[in-house]
Amino acid sequence: MLVRRRSAVVTTVLCGVLAVGGCSSTESGNAQPSTTTDLSAATAALWDPCSQIPDSTLTSLGLDVKSKRSGVLGVEEPGWKICRWDDVNFPSGFGIGVYSTVHTVDEVRAKPTNIEFKDVVIAGRSGVQFRQSHYDANEDCSIAFPTATGMAQLDMLNGGTKEKLVPPCERLQPIAEAIVPLFPK
């Protein structure tokens, strides 16, 4: 039952993240891939959190390196590099996701189910904190940062437990301080 619940939570979170928006080369600002070939090349060129965040960093942050999961339930998504880890210091269901994508922070802001935006500076880098409206405030926190290829994002989900011991944004802050310097510019 726990595995099924965790899979449903992960699927819901990642589907929400992946629904940021479609790609188009007609928007102002950074041009985004408009063909499958362009998207494949752009995806291949993205920074990969699964291979670019050292295990020692994750362990020092209380994340279980053995719980690493790539993609959405193991399936890679075009335009995204996705990695998730469980938090060993908190109850089951409390985990972090780190993403790199061709999508932009402007697309995150434009998505109607992303709410409660707050400009933040973490590790000297400007970004935007928000949450998804289908989660309670004590279940979800995301922070996105612009990059030359789109954006990099972290999220903390506490959807697997009824006991919300630590607000997700509070738990995400020290993790972000350590991981954001690894993001591409």
Q: Label residue 65 exposed, middle or buried (CB < 10 Å: 0-12, 13-18, 19+).
A: middle
CA distance 117 to 138: 15
User: Residue 184: how many CA atoms within 13 Å on its side-chain side?
Assistant: 17
Give long-range contacts, CB 8 A cutoff, 24+ apart: 129-133. Answer: 129/169, 132/13, 132/16
- For 179, other C-beta atoms within 10 Å of its C-beta total 24
pLDDT, block means (10 residues), the chain with 185 residues: 38 42 38 67 95 96 93 88 88 83 97 97 98 90 96 87 73 95 96
The confidence score (pLDDT) of residue 9 equals 39
For residue 69 the two structure tokens come to 């999961």
Report residue 79 as tokens: 């335009």
Three-state DSSP state, 4:
helix
What local confidence, expressed as pLDDT, does residue 164 receive? 59
Q: Give CA–CA dist 50/85, Å, rounded.
A: 10
- pTM comes to 0.79
pLDDT value for 146: 98
Taking the C-alpha atoms of residue 165 and residue 143, their distance in angstroms, rounded to an integer, is 20
Looking at residue 136, what is its pLDDT? 86
Please state, in angstroms and rounded to a whole number, the distance separating the CA atoms of residues 122 and 167. 18
